[in-house]
Amino acid sequence: MRLLFSAKALRDYQNSPERVRQAADKQFSFLLKNLKHSSLRAQKYDETKDVWQARITRNWRFYFQIREDTYHIITIIRHPQ
C-alpha cells in the first residue's frame, strides 16, 4: 500500500500544528502497515462515497479512500466536539 495526498490534505497538513503533523506521520505509518491498527480507530465514514475516517489525535482526524493499492488522503481536520 502507499499514500497519496490531495492538494487539500497537503494544505491541511502544512497548516496544522507541529504536534499534529508529528502524530499524523506516526498514524500514516500505522495505516501503511495495518488498517486495523488500534490507535487509528479506522471506520467507514460514508458508505456511499467509500470514505473512511481515522484518528490522528483525540481532537484530529483524517479522511481517506482506498483505491487498489493506494490510500487517498482527502483531508485532515479538527474533530468537531
In order, the DSSP letters of the chain are: -EEEE-HHHHHHHHHS-HHHHHHHHHHHHHHHH-TT-TTT--EEEETTTTEEEEESSSSEEEEEEEETTEEEEEEEEEPP-
When pLDDT is averaged across residues 2-31 and rounded to a whole number, the result is: 98
What CATH number should be reported for the domain holding residue 20?
A: 3.30.2310.20
Strands 51-55 and 2-5: unpaired
Alpha-carbon distance of 44 to 49, in angstroms, equals 10
pLDDT of residue 26: 98
Domain of 14 in residue numbering reads as 2-78
pLDDT tens track for 31-76: 999 999 999 999 999 999 999 999 999 999 999 999 999 999 999 9
